[in-house]
Amino acid sequence: MGLPNRTKRSRLYDRAAAVLMGVLARLSGLIVIVIAAGLFWKSVPILKNQSLSALLFSSEWYPLRGQFGFLPFIMGSLWVTGTAMILAVPLCLLTAIYLAEYAPRGIREGMRPLIDLLAGIPSVVYGVWGVLVVVPWVKRAAGWFGYSTSGYCVLSAGIVLAVMIFPVIIHMTVEILRAVPQEIREASLSLGATQWQTIKKVVLRKAFGGVLAAIVLGLSRAFGETIAVLMVAGNAVRSPTGFLDAAYPLPALIANNYGEMMSIPLYDSAMMLACLILLGIVLVFNVLAKLVLMRIQKEIQ
């Protein structure tokens, strides 16, 4: 009798599993650094040729003459993402607040999978929807107000992007609001506060950090989105000056040109720099959000 002695083997497995998982965990953290380093290394030729500030703040984009001013693309990205955020944030917050605080369970549980499904639609489908529906609509609507536009513009891209990031922000915000302890709501309500006062002054305050994180996640997503934006933004190399101007965001620039310009000197390196700028801006947003979060948490637990 007695159980078979497998301790030696299982201990080996245990060790192996721990090592394997440790390596994988470290690798995934390392990937960001490796990518950034790789992009930087590939960008060195153009950085040696021209100063960084000239590259970032010049609007002269004439690759054949060796002039690579990224400002129009950076501005294009900021305009398009900014528009998307202006549209998405209020709508998402109100939707999430309704779902988390007001909606009966049936509606909440029924709506959530539908909203999550939005996240599963391939971005090229959003692009097609943008071209077929949003662009003509924006063109017509602008006409009513006496503006003329092709419809391929900042506003169209912003609308498409906003819909794309709805599920990201809504899903996360609902989770965060649901995680706020019920007793805190009760404490406020028992003082005679209305539900809206309670949400505004207590629940959202408590959840502020998480909501901010959800918004930044949506922002990062919008900033990097390529195909859908490329299809509706118009892609004209000029800094937009309004919502109805065409824009040429960074990801669209990279996707449109990478691989087709090897004969032009430094073009390859310029594209790598564009990637690095994109990565850099997203990182800056994330770091800023983190800093705000740390400050807030110090102030109000």
Note the residues at the interface with other proteins (CB under 8 A).
104-105, 181-194, 197, 201-202, 205-206, 299-301
Least CB distance to other proteins at residue 185 (A): 8
Nearest 5°: the CA angle 50, 52, 53 is: 110
Torsion of CA 66, 72, 74, 76, to 10 degrees: -140
With residue 202 as reference, give the H or E element that holds it: none
Which residues lie across from 247 on neighbouring strands?
Answer: 234
Which one, 207 or 254, has the nearer CB to other proteins? Answer: 207
**Residue 53 vs 182, nearer CB to other proteins:** 182
What DSSP character marks residue 263? T
**Minimum separation from the CB atom of position 90 to other proteins (A):** 22
Of the pair 208, 258, the CB lying nearest other proteins is at 208
Task: Compute the least distance from the CB of residue 125 to other proteins, in Å.
Answer: 37
Express the helix, strand and coil content of the chain in percent, nearest 5 each: 75, 0, 20
**What are the distances in angstroms from CA 237 to CA 74, 75, 113, 240, 243?**
11, 10, 40, 9, 15
Whole-number Å distance between alpha carbons of 223 and 225: 6
Residue of 163, 273, 265 lying closest to 222 (CA atoms) = 163
Rounded to a whole number of angstroms, the minimum distance from the CB of residue 169 to other proteins is: 22
Q: Closest separation between CB of residue 208 and other proteins, Å?
A: 8
In the block, residue with structure tokens 């983190």: 290
Q: Which residue, 198 or 269, has its beta carbon nearer to other proteins?
A: 198
CA dist., res. 221 & res. 292, Å (int): 20
Q: Are 179 and 102 in contact (CB under 8 A)?
A: no
Nearer to other proteins, 10 or 190 (CB): 190
**Min separation Cβ 173 and other proteins, Å:** 17
Instruction: Please report how close the Cβ of residue 299 comes to other proteins at its closest, in angstroms.
Output: 7
- Which residue, 119 or 193, has its beta carbon nearer to other proteins? 193
